[in-house]
Amino acid sequence: MENKYPCRNEQNCVWRMIDGELIILSKEGQWIHELNGVGLEIWNACDGKLTISEIADKIYGEFDIEKEVAEADVQSFIEELAQKGLVTLHQDK
């Protein structure tokens, strides 16, 4: 999965910045997801241009976190987003 390109699924959700936090809401209004600073950086990086591994490297470089922890957390978070239909995963850009 590390070599897949995650891309936000704009057809399945809406999002807004409110008081410095990103709020994601399903179009059906079923759930709300609030993202902290790290989550926001991951969400912003899910534009189909970076692989999951490249996003983990970006998080590792920007935040005070160990590389292995960044890799595991980014992988897990993107898998969760994909399961909820918030991102799609593509093999190619």
Number of domains in the chain: 1
**How far is C-alpha 33 from the geometric centre of its chain's CA atoms?**
11
Three-state secondary structure call for residue 63? coil
What's the distance, CA 86 to chain centroid?
A: 8
pTM exceeding 0.85: yes
The pLDDT value recorded for residue 5 is 96
Per-residue pLDDT of the chain in tens (93 residues, 90 and over written 9):
578 999 999 888 888 888 888 889 888 777 778 888 899 999 999 999 999 999 999 999 999 889 999 999 999 999 999 998 899 999 876
Q: What is the CATH number of the domain that holds 29?
A: 3.90.930.60
What is the reported pLDDT for 92? 74
Contact 87, 10 (CB under 8 A): no
What is the reported pLDDT for 45?
Answer: 96
Domain containing residue 85: 5-90
How high is the pLDDT of residue 41?
Answer: 94
